[in-house]
């Protein structure tokens, strides 16, 4: 039986619409315009594309976008001074420093210098701790997007067996925390996991976040399972450049109950969730009710 395809592109459009609605209300009822500051250090081409896309979508939902492009040789002191300035700027509700940073800059130090309440990437150690202890936090955008799609498809996730493949700080670990928060029974798999196929075969929900093209074959997937493919891998096949996930999509779609495609699945949700986090941060900063359905 062919799986339901979870359309992340369409879902992201509904998230952006909700965000735009809240932005309009914040402007009309409270005279507040949410603002997102994005800091880019250096000229990494992929980062430039991401930053442009984030800025464009921020403006499209009616928020202010503040872009700070710094030279690749920028000193740590200068970068920290900019972050301090943004932390103290009341028109800035969200701050994102585009990763990766040039080698001479300490990423952990930079992330942890962002005010936690403005940390819309959810990477600050305070937000990591709040999420791990089940408290209100800023939630990393990619896992938040995955959770929104899972909730939308299933309603309650309580009691389901979930396997997250990958244990990175930006995807795997927060994804596992979120699924635990939904009362799933969660297994985190990684490169040292013994018998990964067997672990994945037990799962009602599989989240693949590895970065290895099509590494999950159909015979790892339990019949009817929901498969969320976070991987983004650029490959060349039959002389053509192609984007594929960590899951072998077509055969897995024959066994799964629901599956996200690559492209058009998790990817579009990530920026939509960044906008959602910014509007949430703005509401919290102004002691206003948080938008429903846009947080974990
Ligand atoms: P990392 O490289 O930080 O983490 C990869 C994880 O996969 C590690 O925990 C690693 O295990 C594990 N792993 C590696 N090889 C295997 C294996 N053979 N079997 C099982 N586990 C393995 O990657 P990220 O979490 O940053 O990203 C993962 C993927 O998601 C990438 O393709 C990335 O491009 C994509 N991505 C997509 C986003 C989106 O918006 N859609 C956003 C962020 C990432 P170990 O810890 O043991 O080394």
- pLDDT one-digit tens code per residue, 176-232: 999 999 999 999 999 999 999 999 999 999 999 999 999 999 999 999 999 999 999
Task: Indicate which residues carry an active-site annotation.
Answer: 54, 98, 121
Does any ligand 1 atom lie closer than 6 A to the CB of residue 174? no
Q: What is the mean pLDDT of residues 113-122?
A: 98
Domains of the chain, each with CATH number or no CATH: 31-117 (3.40.50.10860), 141-268 (3.40.50.720)
d(CA 171, CA 142): 6
Does any ligand 1 atom lie closer than 6 A to the CB of residue 210? yes
Helix, strand, coil shares, percent, the chain, to 5: 45, 20, 40
Please name the residue whose Cα sits nearest to atom 47 of ligand 1: 191
> Residue 266 is encoded by which pair of tokens?
């998790």
pLDDT above 90 (res 1):
no
**Closest atom, ligand 1, to C-alpha of 269:** 40
Does any ligand 1 atom lie closer than 6 A to the CB of residue 191? yes
d(CA 278, CA 292): 14
């Amino acid at each position: 039986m062919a799986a339901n395809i979870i359309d992340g592109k369409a879902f992201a459009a509904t998230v952006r619409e909700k965000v735009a609605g809240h932005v309009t209300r914040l402007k009309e009822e409270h005279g507040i315009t949410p603002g997102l500051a994005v800091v880019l250090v250096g000229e990494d081409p992929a980062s430039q594309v991401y930053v442009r896309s984030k800025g464009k979508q921020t403006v499209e939902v009616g928020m202010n976008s503040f872009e700070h492009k710094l030279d690749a040789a920028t000193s740590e002191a200068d970068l920290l001074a900019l972050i301090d300035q943004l932390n103290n700027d009341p028109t800035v509700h969200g701050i994102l420093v585009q990763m990766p940073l040039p080698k001479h800059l300490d990423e952990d130090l930079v992330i942890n210098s962002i005010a936690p309440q403005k940390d819309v990437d959810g990477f600050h150690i305070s937000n990591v701790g709040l999420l791990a202890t089940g408290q209100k936090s800023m939630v990393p955008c990619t896992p938040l997007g995955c959770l929104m799609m899972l909730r939308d498809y299933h309603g309650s996730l309580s009691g389901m067996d979930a396997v997250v493949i990958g244990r990175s700080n930006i995807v795997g670990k927060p994804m596992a925390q979120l699924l635990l928060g939904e009362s799933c029974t969660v297994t985190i798999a990684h490169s040292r996991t013994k018998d990964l196929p067997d672990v994945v075969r037990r799962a009602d929900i599989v989240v693949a976040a590895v970065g290895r093209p099509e590494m999950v074959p159909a015979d790892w997937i339990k019949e009817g399972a929901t498969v969320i493919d976070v991987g983004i891998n650029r490959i060349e096949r039959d002389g053509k450049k192609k984007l594929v996930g960590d899951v072998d999509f077509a055969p897995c779609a024959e066994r799964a109950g629901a599956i996200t495609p690559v492209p058009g699945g998790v990817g579009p949700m990530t920026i939509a969730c960044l906008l959602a986090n910014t509007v949430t941060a703005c509401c919290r900063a102004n002691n206003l009710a948080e938008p429903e359905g846009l947080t974990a």
